[in-house]
Amino acid sequence: MKRAPTRPENMKPSPLKGRSIYPFDRINPGESFLVPYGDGNPQKVRQRISMAAWTFRQTYPEKRFIVKAEPDGVRVWRYA
């Protein structure tokens, strides 16, 4: 007989569903943040951030973002 895993009592649920290394939840409409390319491929960096913004919006549909490539990195603006 299989037993269902138990949840430790000291664990609290996260205030956000999922995890993000980008501050999508902390910026207000009209604000932006820049993610530098670093040593990565600029196209892959932009694609990764676009996908992260899309995933975040699936959980929080009222928050909308624009992702654009710039010479020094990828900038993300929140517009709603």
Domain segments of the chain as ranges: 48-80
Q: How far apart are CA 69 and CA 27, in angstroms?
A: 19
Category of 57 on φ-ψ map: left (φ > 0), alpha (ψ -120 to 50) or beta:
alpha
pLDDT in tens, 5-64: 544 455 455 555 556 789 999 999 999 999 999 888 999 999 999 999 999 999 999 999
Q: How far apart are CA 80 and CA 68, in angstroms?
A: 16
**pLDDT of res. 20:** 73
**pLDDT of res. 40:** 86
Q: How far apart are CA 37 and CA 35, in angstroms?
A: 7
**pLDDT of res. 34:** 95
Encoded tokens for 46: 């932009």
This prediction's pTM: 0.73
DSSP state of 9: T
